Structure 1
Amino acid sequence: MSEVITKARAARETTTALNNLTTAQKNEALLLIADALIAAQERLLAANEEDIVRGREQGTSESMLDRLKLTPERLQGIAQGVREVVELPDPVGETLHRFERPNGLHIEQRRVPLGVIGMIYESRPNVTVDAASLCLKTGNAVVLRGGSAALSSNRAIIAVMREALSRSDLPEDALQLIEDSDRKSVDEMLKLNGLLDVIIPRGGASLIRNVVQNATVPVIETGAGICHTYADESADYAMLAAIALNAKVQRPSVCNSMETLLLHESFAAKHLAALADKFIQSGVALKGCEASRQIVPTIELATEEDFATEYNDYILNLKIVKDVDEALAHIRKYGTQHSECIVTENAENADRFLQEVDAAAVYHNASTRFTDGFEFGFGAEIGISTQKLHARGPMGLPALTSTKYRVVGTGQIRA
Structure 2
Amino acid sequence: MPPMAALVRALLVVAALLALPPGSRSGDAGNLHPVVLVPGYASNQLEAMLTAAYEPSAPACAVSAAAEQGWFQLWPNHTAMHDASQVPCFADQMSVVYDAGADDYRNTDGVATRVPFFGSPRALIGWDPLVRQLEAMGYREGATLFAAPYDFRYAVAPPGHPSAVGDRYFRDLGRLIRRATRLNQGRPPVVVAHSFGCALTYQFLLARPLPWRRRYVRHVVLLGSALGGFAAAGMDFGLPNVARPTMVRLARSEQSALWRLPTPLVFGDRPLAVAGTATYTARNVSAFLEAIGFAEAVRPYVTRVLPMWEELPAPMVPVTSVIGIGVRTPETYVFGADGLRGEPAVVYGDGDGDINLVSLVAVEEWSQVEGQDLKVLRLPGVHHTGYITVDFAVKSVIAEIAEAGRTIESTGNLAFEQKCTDH
TM-score, with length taken from structure 1: 0.34
Structure with higher helix content: 1
Larger radius of gyration: 1
TM-score, with length taken from structure 2: 0.34
